[in-house]
Amino acid sequence: MLQCLILELEMVFSWLNLLAKFGFSDITGIDYSPSAIQLSGSVIEKEGLSNIKLKVEDFLNLSTQLSGFHICIDKGTFDAISLNPDNAIEKRKQYVKSLSRVLKVKGFFLITSCNWTKEELLNEFSEGFELFEELPTPKFSFGGRSGNSVAALVFKNVRLFLGQIQGVDHTWPFPRTAPPQG
């Protein structure tokens, strides 16, 4: 088993199943909807995956028990929060605070967004996060211009959240290797 604390947000149809099959352990999926967690639990049970924990959690109002993750995966939660007509700017700021709290320093945040460009995401996550890598996504061309319909980025948490315990090793368990040349 690969020891790595992984958190996926709003996770009905999930990467967690795939990660569990590849041998990762200490995997947690959260969703604010009890019925989504129940559906995910049925899928996980059917596939015989015992190393995934599921919790009903609102990412904007987290319990204190959710912290210390090496990786956090988001494939639509930030988009949904951003579209909320009730104080979306403040909710996006709370999302970034929650993310800082759940991730270890040097932990990684993977986000896939169909509503935000790379540049916009860099701005939204400029406090406490640095771009680690841009993942390839499909490109399209229209009217002589090219672009991406989806942004997929990996950020690294570079800020210690005040609630994290001092003196604990907050490093990523696997060092980054240089990409192959050529």
User: Is 139 inside any structural domain?
Assistant: yes
Q: What is the span of the domain harbouring residue 35? A: 3-157
User: Is 150 inside any structural domain?
Assistant: yes
Q: What is the CATH number of the domain that holds 145?
A: 3.40.50.150
CA distance linking residue 10 with residue 30, whole number of Å: 6
Q: Whole-model pTM?
A: 0.81
Question: How does pLDDT run across 134-146, given as a tens digit for each residue?
Answer: 999 888 888 888 8
CB atoms within 10 A of CB 140: 9
Question: How does pLDDT run across 83-128, given as a tens digit for each residue?
Answer: 988 999 999 999 999 999 999 999 999 999 999 999 999 999 999 9
Whether 134 and 153 have beta carbons less than 8 Å apart is answered as: yes
Closest-CA residue to 155 (of 120, 116, 112, 110): 110
Structurally, the chain folds into a number of domains equal to: 1
User: Is 74 inside any structural domain?
Assistant: yes
